Amino acid sequence: MGDALIEARDVSVTFGSGSRAVRAVRGVSLHIDQGEAVGIVGESGSGKSTLARVLAGLQRPDSGEVLFEGENIYQRGKAYRGDKRRLVQMVFQDPYGSLNPRIIALSAVSEAVRVHGVGSRADATARSLELLAQMGISERDAKKKPRQLSGGQRQRVSVARALSAQPAVLLADEPTSAIDQSAQAQLLNLFQGLLDGGLSIALVSHDLGVIRYLTQRVYVMKDGEFVESGPTIEVFDNPTQDYTKKLIASIPGRELRKART
């Protein structure tokens, strides 16, 4: 720990122009160290997903830069060239949009295993089924297309797909919003195991119980800016900003937190 694996420096993103301009992210800096889980929280529309997309190299910032292992993620105009593409994976807030509607879950995952790994098709299939099983997706459900799965199942398939690349950094945008408590606990255990193995995670969630359980540090976002950041427990137990206090008071994750403490 200590050396940032991924770092954003003074990043800004504006959508549209003139009187319609939305300054979604305004001069934000953050870092995630190896093996660290960092939370990003804030009300709807505060810029969390936009920031996650910037870290993933999917949204180019108007100003500021993102570094991965100390190097700007954009080289010769493209983000995450070569092997780095595999090392940073994103789970999208809307898994419908990120999964190909014509491809069954198993193929979506094994395709990613094969793109990023070596081994035969049979190995990739076995590895994918194992990953899906870890996510609580049965072999039967693995043969379904996205629209035949529930929202929570789709979400878990997209987590399995992202993890199949064996990334160094997982950018997870609301990965637990559609899944029930037991699947959630399973996913959090899996994440915890991967963190112990050195994975870094940026976790965007409205569920502050999940953030509290998994992350060491948290950034609180409001209108595109960080209003508060620090060790998760300190920020949650002694928030300095009214905005953070209100966010915590409106917790949907209180029950989970109670269950875990």
Ligand X SMILES: Nc1ncnc2c1ncn2[C@@H]1O[C@H](COP(=O)(O)OP(=O)(O)OP(=O)(O)O)[C@@H](O)[C@H]1O
The contact set with ligand X (CB under 6 A) reads 15-16, 22, 24, 42, 44-50, 93
Our CB check for ligand X shows the closer of 21 and 133 to be: 21
Q: Which does 24 bind (CB under 5 to 8 A by kind): Mg ion, ligand X, none?
A: ligand X
Our CB check for ligand X shows the closer of 47 and 61 to be: 47
Q: Which does 27 bind (CB under 5 to 8 A by kind): ligand X, Mg ion, none?
A: none
* Selection from 56, 27, 36, 41 nearest residue 219 by Cα: 41
Beta bridge partners of 23: 14
| Choice from 6, 8, 39, 49 touching Mg ion (CB under 5 A) | 49
Q: Which two tokens stand for residue 173?
A: 């945008």
CA separation for the pair 153, 139 (Å, rounded): 12
Our CB check for Mg ion shows the closer of 49 and 184 to be: 49
Residue 244, interface with Mg ion (CB under 5 A)? no
Give the nearest distance from C-beta 142 to Mg ion in angstroms: 27
CA separation for the pair 229, 227 (Å, rounded): 7
Q: Which does 50 bind (CB under 5 to 8 A by kind): Mg ion, ligand X, none?
A: ligand X
Q: Which does 182 bind (CB under 5 to 8 A by kind): ligand X, Mg ion, none?
A: none
Our CB check for ligand X shows the closer of 22 and 126 to be: 22
Q: Which does 161 bind (CB under 5 to 8 A by kind): ligand X, Mg ion, none?
A: none
With contact defined as beta carbons under 8 Å apart, do 114 and 197 qualify?
no
Give the nearest distance from C-beta 51 to ligand X in angstroms: 7
Give the nearest distance from C-beta 140 to ligand X in angstroms: 32
Question: 């990120």: which residue's tokens?
Answer: 98
Q: Which does 17 bind (CB under 5 to 8 A by kind): Mg ion, ligand X, none?
A: none
What does the binding site for Mg ion look like in residue numbers (CB under 5 A)? 49, 93
